Chain A
């Protein structure tokens, strides 16, 4: 929301379809780009004859080309008064949405891709953790623990960091990690992925933190560094679409949340950004 210019037409591609959007009297609007208005024009609300459904949540405007549920998944932490809710960046990646989600769910790559920050050799072991699908059909991976030399912008030195991962939507994923400043609460980091095309995404990083020390720019820089390290890996995965056939890749126990995610996508009948199982 904070990046939108009031009353000016902007564009984004969603699932291969060009969508225009803007705000009118503070409320967002979105429509398929066929109204005659162009990007940068002043919004003429009357020209939007066929609006798309919109809602505002967690600082973002959400829309759909289909018939979405009335409510979006809940992130109750967002409303806690002492939290910093920050949009860190939106970054384009030449990969499919579920590949990005899987990477976000993965601890095993920390020592190799986020060396010295989220992991460091020889602390490479991914201990057993628990994966469940709850009554709301969301995936939860709990009791995840990983050694991190510098887990967050506020970290001083290495620590065993506790994680909980949550997948409330096929292309949105959240993680809850031990907060360096308050042992009883967890920082929330989200990745909201918009598929531009099946093999191209724009991913937004959302944070809800207990942190009254770091500046916004320091927090953003930290997240952007992490994401920049993931990007070349994501862009070098083949096939780009996530194979749901279990015989295309080789899972290990550390991947149990990814395995659950792939099965869950299959069960949901998701076909976009994936290679469905035969």
Chain B
């Protein structure tokens, strides 16, 4: 019954021999699941309903509202649970104050007009040791009195409606009548539950008496049915077959390869830090967090299996925690939406050590930091560093509005160093950039991070204003260029004395790893710079957005995740 499903509760039900864990989530969705955790078969009805997920008592596996997919396996916090780890779910409908479900339901629910039109009132459910059909037959002869007439001895009771496992009865005493509907839940072959509803809520003062009256009469009915059932051979209990898990899940899983995530951190704080932006504070649960530098990013391994890069916003000397900011991307492929919606305070995540491919020079006479939107994060770390060191800098923060500014408290602390540019159109942004990059003074440096088009415009304006490439530092969120990986070529590894073929469709990074050459990597799309190697010979086909034009022309470095060869052979310093 609906009233058996208050928030945070898990109800243990049984239908046709199958045990069910039934729970209501915060969004009112009623979940009806097979009552066993896929891992070791522990009943999920003894689990914890936290409003959004159900947590198994045994190993803390978490299963999502609605889908019943496993979202987290605490024993392996660095790994994402396989997408296919999913409990068996059954459809559920709430109607007439009851939750309806079935193993393979078809057709419509019985149409009980009196309950649809009335104001139903639930009676106490009663369990009967008899087959459902037998219980339904006896219910046709159920006798009761209308509320307010409980003192009478005789009522005229008529059967208004009758379906396979439901009966609608009306009791009349004089001009007073009451309609009751009884549903029989087939729990097992020889066990049923009678769930009764009155079509109208009785007056307050008679409510207890009405409940007691029906409880008494239904108990008598139960005694009669059970006596009859006991005289017959007991039916065989139903056997609910356990659905097999996929072969892939049943085979012993291998250690995950690829990204390294040495550190385990706990989300100790998650807060909204501007329109569409969530900030996270991460604390180590093991060894102390490694050193970071302004501009550094970490790989964050998400519970859904994705790996994403986020810049640290920490100022100098704040190494007890890492802080990151995550913008909710409207077309999120699962990274930002997972962090916004799924990851919560208390969760354990795996992260890489910080890598700095966007280093800050501190020998500049003037530093201009230019942030677009969430591109503020590495620049916040830089601005705090420059501010502490009393170096001359400006932080120009371009955002849609005041509400869209992230990490307001840090901005306030930085004070006059921050210039906010709010609500500008692309043209206005271009004009503002033109003004602030108007003249290049030797030993000035400029750092820019933000959306791709803004970065492109900024770099162009800077070049036109006479800024040399080495003074323009940038970090893209992602590489939006189409990567052409069709060519086949050869790489010679100068230190490892290996020559390898790189076939079309495979990256240099992948080929190196396949041959046991350990290579660091992070974004694997040519944006972050982690997989850079030095090139000794050959012509590189640069496809990344990490290197600047001068570096690309020089051709002595390349990003092995996306860049390839124009010549037939490259010699790498590996």
Q: Chain A: residues with CB nearer than 8 A to chain B?
A: 102, 108-109, 111-113, 121-126, 128, 232-233, 236-239, 243, 245-254, 256, 259
Contacts and interface: CB of A to CB of B under 8 A. Distances in A.
B416 interface: no
Interface stretch (B36-44, B200-208, B214-222): B36-44
B38 A250 contact: yes
Interface stretch (B22-30, B245-253, B315-323, B380-388): B245-253
A108 B57 CA distance: 11
B19 A112 contact: no
Nearest to B350: A125
Interface string B12-50: 000000010000000000000001101111110010000
Nearest to B268: A122
B76 A249 contact: no
A131 B57 CA distance: 26
B75 A126 contact: yes
A250 B43 contact: no
Contacts of B249: 247, 250
A250 B74 contact: no
B244 interface: yes
Interface in B48-63: 57-60
A112 B57 contact: yes
A112 B75 CA distance: 11
Contacts of B247: 247
A108 B75 contact: yes
B244 A250 contact: no
7 contacts: A108-B74, A108-B75, A232-B46, A237-B42, A243-B242, A252-B75, A253-B75
A197 B103 CA distance: 32
Contact of B58 (A109, A247, A248): A109
Closest 8 pairs (CB-CB, A-B): A124-B74, A254-B75, A247-B244, A108-B75, A246-B250, A126-B75, A236-B43, A247-B250
Nearest to A254: B75
Contacts of B77: 122, 124-125
A108 B59 contact: yes
A143 to B, nearest CB: 14
A113 B308 CA distance: 33
B73 interface: yes
Contacts of B38: 249-250
B264 interface: yes
Nearest to B78: A125
Contacts of B251: 246
B238 interface: no
B348 interface: yes
A124 B75 contact: yes
B266 A122 contact: yes
A163 B12 CA distance: 37
A232 B57 CA distance: 10
Interface in B262-285: 264, 266, 285
B346 A122 contact: yes
A96 to B, nearest CB: 11
Q: Chain B contact residues (Cβ within 8 angstroms of A): what range?
A: 35 or more
Contacts of B57: 112-113, 233, 236
Mostly helix, strand, loop or mixed at chain A's interface? Answer: loop
A122 B283 CA distance: 11
A252 B74 CA distance: 11
B75 A237 contact: no
Contacts of B78: 125
Contacts of A121: 60, 74, 346, 348
Mostly helix, strand, loop or mixed at chain B's interface? Answer: loop
B36 to A, nearest CB: 5
A247 to B, nearest CB: 4
A124 B72 CA distance: 11
B517 to A, nearest CB: 23
Contact of A124 (B41, B60, B250): B60
Contacts of A122: 77, 264, 266, 285, 346, 348
Given A121-B74, A122-B346, A124-B348, A233 B58 contact: yes
Contacts of A232: 46
A125 B77 CA distance: 6
A108 B43 CA distance: 17
B40 A249 contact: yes
A130 to B, nearest CB: 13
B255 interface: yes
B60 A236 contact: no
Given A236-B46, A237-B41, 15 more contacts: A108-B59, A108-B75, A109-B58, A111-B74, A112-B58, A113-B57, A125-B75, A233-B42, A247-B246, A247-B247, A247-B250, A248-B242, A251-B252, A253-B76, A254-B76
B85 interface: yes
Given A122-B346, A237-B42, A249 B245 contact: yes
Given A108-B59, A112-B57, A125 B73 contact: no
B76 to A, nearest CB: 6
Interface in B75-130: 75-78, 85
B252 A113 contact: no
B41 A239 contact: yes
Contacts of A247: 244-247, 249-250
Nearest to A263: B252
A109 B59 contact: yes
A97 to B, nearest CB: 16
Contact of B242 (A102, A239, A253, A256): A239
A121 B59 CA distance: 11
B65 to A, nearest CB: 20
A248 B285 contact: no
Interface string B202-246: 000000000000000000000000000000000000000010111
Given A237-B41, A238-B43, A250 B250 contact: yes
A238 B58 contact: no
A71 to B, nearest CB: 33
Nearest to B348: A122
Pick the most buried of B75, B244, B246, B252: most chain A CB atoms within 10 A of its CB.
B75
Given A109-B58, A109-B59, A248 B244 contact: yes
Pick the most buried of A108, A121, A122: most chain B CB atoms within 10 A of its CB.
A122
A124 to B, nearest CB: 4
A112 B60 contact: yes
A250 B85 contact: yes
B348 A252 contact: no
A238 B41 contact: yes
Contacts of A239: 41, 242
A95 to B, nearest CB: 11
Pick the most buried of A112, A245, A259: most chain B CB atoms within 10 A of its CB.
A112
B302 to A, nearest CB: 16
Nearest to B247: A247
Interface in B340-395: 346, 348
A254 B75 CA distance: 7
Contact of B35 (A108, A238, A246): A238
A239 B241 CA distance: 11
A113 B39 contact: no
B250 A125 contact: no
A252 B42 contact: no
B28 to A, nearest CB: 27
